[in-house]
Structure formats: structure tokens, C-alpha cells
Amino acid sequence: MIDPRLLRDDPDTLREAQRRRGASPDLVDELIAADEQRRHSIAAFEAVRSEQKNLGKLIPKAKGEEKQALLAQTKELSAKVKEAEAAQAEAGQAFDALLRALPNPASTDAPEGGEDDFVVLDTVGTPRDFAAEGFEPRDHLELGRILGAIDTERGAKVSGARFYYLTGAGARLELALTQLAMNTASEWGFTPMIPPALVKPSAMEGTGFLGQAADDVYHLEKDDLYLVGTSEVPLAAYHSDEILDADSLPRRYAGFSPCYRREAGSYGKDTRGIFRVHWFDKVEMFVFTTPEEAAAEHERLLGWERAWLDALELPYRVIDVAAGDLGLSAVRKFDCEAWIPTQERYREVSSASNCTQFQARRLDIRVREGDSVSPLATLNGTLCAMTRTIVALLENGQQADGSVRLPAALHPFIGEVLEPIT
């Protein structure tokens, strides 16, 4: 959540941030009113509680009718204290709910607007000209059938729409990508992690995924646990309720986990194949650092994502995501989009987000610098979302006979070419 002092010291910045996101600034005004009510209720409770304590000091010294009167007054004050305490709790809960609904103020460096208002920062590589090579490119699902790598029909039979099996070469390709990604992240100084894919509500809410994204998560009501949509959630919560020494930062983790998403609101979009599915595996980078280093670390995360795509020899572009498409927690986000030949467009395969102190405040993760203790900063970045990366590798590396040439970085793990099954 944001620092509540911003509401009192600089509400206009928050209103402007809402406007740049395409959201109503009315939430800021509601928060200011709720904060005033909260502080008023605290003062009212403390006043009546103080009166009760002072009265309690007089009773032992009183006698007779005076003591009876004081006891009667004490009973009346006790009821008022309970009423004031309840009012304080209610006002606090109302304020907290509104505060948690307010997004992290978007960076002024992020483009203004919505989903289509991104800015292209760079384009790398040249898409293949399949016409010049004399054949029509197949999409990843057809290539998956030829290679014996993807089975969506049995995935739907067993689990429903947007589920799949990776078989043979497909399974080996994911395992190769996982090994390469984890080895590469380790070389960059990330600690490999395999985190739990089921988390408590506090972890999901603390990372901002029970707000505007609540419809997209799977909830196990009987156990009150959530299936994570990204290992960002358990990695962020790893240090919840802890104080880290500044000398130990940055702490960088690379988590491999399954990810589960309802894909709410995406019905009818990307239904063919494995580009947009309800479950996929991913290697996610996550960083805890000081607020002063967050922006520089964000650029480093983007640099690592670009190095990864360069190693996979994929044509891609980098975009600066617009404020209205940032989600709840990020102040700025860069997406890397790989070229998908049969769609004739760039599609997101990774993103890097700077969440500043927003998640740390919600998860109570702080940094100690000398005698000072304050919320630290968190950042996250996709290294390899398996299914989308497989889509990009198959379509960009395909040959006329249905085989697929793989980038040199993967050769030690799986070989140079995926051959059609006989």
C-alpha cells in the first residue's frame, strides 16, 4: 500500500496518478475523508479511555454515596469506551480497505493511458521472411502435432479447455528451458528457489492479487488457500514480517513454479494452442532491495530479460507499459514481446515491474539502515514463461519439413534440432 502520509502531504500527486491510470481520483478524496474519520475516532476513544482511567484513580479514595456515584459513572463510561473502541475499529477497517484498493502511483516516466498507449523502446532482430524461403509457416499447434510435442485434445479431455500435455520433444524442451534459465539466473547472482504454489490469503493479498485481479485467481475454499498465478507471490511473501539488514541487499531469487490463472475476461482470445492457458510453468526473478536502488535494479532486470531473449535468438521488442495497464502494485513495467510469425505480431513473453515499497508495506518487510527501519522495495521479472517461450521457439525456428532448429544456448540440454515423429 502507499504511505498514508501522502494523503495528507501531497494528495494532488495521488489524484494525478489516478488520472494518468485512467481511474477516478474520487478514491483519493474518499481516502482523505476516511483518514479524517479514523483519526477522529482514535481521538474520541483515547479521550473517553483517559476519562475512564482518571475516574478509576478516584474510586479507591471515595466513600459512601460519592463512591457509589463514581461506580455508576464508571459503568456508564465503560459502555462508552466499548462503543468508542468499536467505532475506532470500524473506521480503521474502512480506511484500510480503501487504502489497499488505491494503486501504487504510476511513475511519471510511464506513458499515460491504457493498454494500447505503450511506447516501443527498442526492437531487436528481424523476423524471418518465410515467403522468400518458399514455404508457409505453420502455427505452434500444428508444429506440436508434427513433432509429437503438444496434445491439447487430451488436455481438454482430462482437465477442460485451455489445458494441455507437453509430450516427447515438448516435455524435453520445457525441461531444457528450465535448466538453462535456472543456470543462467544463478550465474547472474540469483538464488534458485522452488516455492509452494499454494499460499494463504495474506500472501495473495499482500502482493496485490486480491484486488482488481481477484477474478483471475483460483481459490480452494475448504482450505482457504490460493493457487498462485505467478511465483512472485510466494517469493514476495518469503520475507514477510521480517526486518532485513541493508548490507544483505539486494536479495535476488529465481523461482520455478506452476502458475494457475482463470484468464477471466479473455474468453475467445488466443484459444488455439498453448499461448493463453489456465496452467503453465515459469521461472520468475524477484528482488528485495533498498528504495534508492529500485529504479536501477529495474533496468538491470530488463537487461537480464533481454540477454535471455538474445540467447534464445528470438526477434523481440521492448515496450514501456502505459500507466493504465500497470496493475495494482507496479509504478512502472517493461514488457518484452517476441515475434510470433503466424500471428504476424509481437506478443508478450516477459515483463519486469518495479513495485517500490507497495508490496513491502502490505507484507511488513522492512530494511534496517543504522538506527532507521523502513519498508524496502520489491521488483519482479519473468525470465521464462514456458508455454509462450515454446510457442515462439517453435514458430521462429521451424523448417519446411516440420523440423525446428533450436538456438545454440539450448544445444547442450536438448540438441540442435527437433525432428518430426515418424
Residue 351 marked in a binding site: yes
- Residue 21 annotated in active site: no
Q: Of 36, 67, 101, which marks where a domain is finished?
A: 101
Residue 350 marked in a binding site: yes
- Residue 39 annotated in active site: no
Q: Is the pTM of this model over 0.95?
A: no
Q: Is the residue at 108 inside a domain?
A: no
Q: Is the residue at 38 inside a domain?
A: yes
Are the C-beta atoms of 134 and 399 separated by less than 8 Å? Answer: no
Residue 231 marked in a binding site: yes
Do both 50 and 163 map to the same domain? no
C-alpha to C-alpha distance for 25 and 130, rounded to whole angstroms: 49
Among the listed residues 351, 361, 366, 395, the single catalytic one is 351
Are the C-beta atoms of 295 and 94 separated by less than 8 Å? Answer: no
pLDDT number for residue 270: 80
Do both 253 and 305 map to the same domain? yes
Query: The domain containing residue 152 runs over which residues?
Result: 119-418
Q: Of 101, 135, 165, which marks where a domain is finished?
A: 101
Do both 175 and 279 map to the same domain? yes
Q: How many residues does the chain have?
A: 422
Q: Is the residue at 226 inside a domain?
A: yes
Residue 123 marked in a binding site: no
pLDDT number for residue 52: 74
Do both 77 and 198 map to the same domain? no
Residue 349 marked in a binding site: yes
Are the C-beta atoms of 133 and 392 separated by less than 8 Å? Answer: no
Do both 260 and 403 map to the same domain? yes
Residue 263 marked in a binding site: yes
Among the listed residues 51, 348, 369, 419, the single catalytic one is 348
Do both 13 and 133 map to the same domain? no
- Residue 162 annotated in active site: no
pLDDT number for residue 174: 98
pLDDT number for residue 215: 83
C-alpha to C-alpha distance for 351 and 305, rounded to whole angstroms: 8
Angle between helix 26-58 and 11-21 (nearest 10):
140
pLDDT number for residue 60: 66
Do both 148 and 20 map to the same domain? no
Q: Coil, strand or helix: which one is 62?
A: coil
pLDDT number for residue 44: 87
C-alpha to C-alpha distance for 358 and 232, rounded to whole angstroms: 14
Do both 202 and 342 map to the same domain? yes
CATH of the domain at 343: 3.30.930.10
Do both 74 and 127 map to the same domain? no
Count of structural domains, the chain: 2
Q: Of 101, 134, 159, which marks where a domain is finished?
A: 101
Q: Long-range contacts made by residues 159-165, C-beta under 8 angstroms, separation at least 24?
A: 159/278, 160/278, 161/271, 162/263, 162/271, 162/276, 162/277, 162/278, 163/277, 163/278, 163/279, 164/274, 164/277, 164/387
CATH of the domain at 86: 1.10.287.40
Do both 307 and 196 map to the same domain? yes
Among the listed residues 38, 138, 252, 261, the single catalytic one is 261
Do both 97 and 154 map to the same domain? no
Among the listed residues 145, 276, 347, 368, the single catalytic one is 276
pLDDT number for residue 190: 98
pLDDT number for residue 238: 98
- Rounded to 5 degrees, φ, ψ at 356 are 40, -130
Q: Which one, of 123, 124, 143, lies nearest residue 135 by Cα?
A: 143
- Residue 348 annotated in active site: yes
Do both 133 and 15 map to the same domain? no
- Residue 388 annotated in active site: yes
Residue 280 marked in a binding site: yes
- Which parts of the chain register pLDDT below 50? none
Q: Which one, of 201, 206, 240, lies nearest residue 358 by Cα?
A: 206
pLDDT number for residue 58: 62
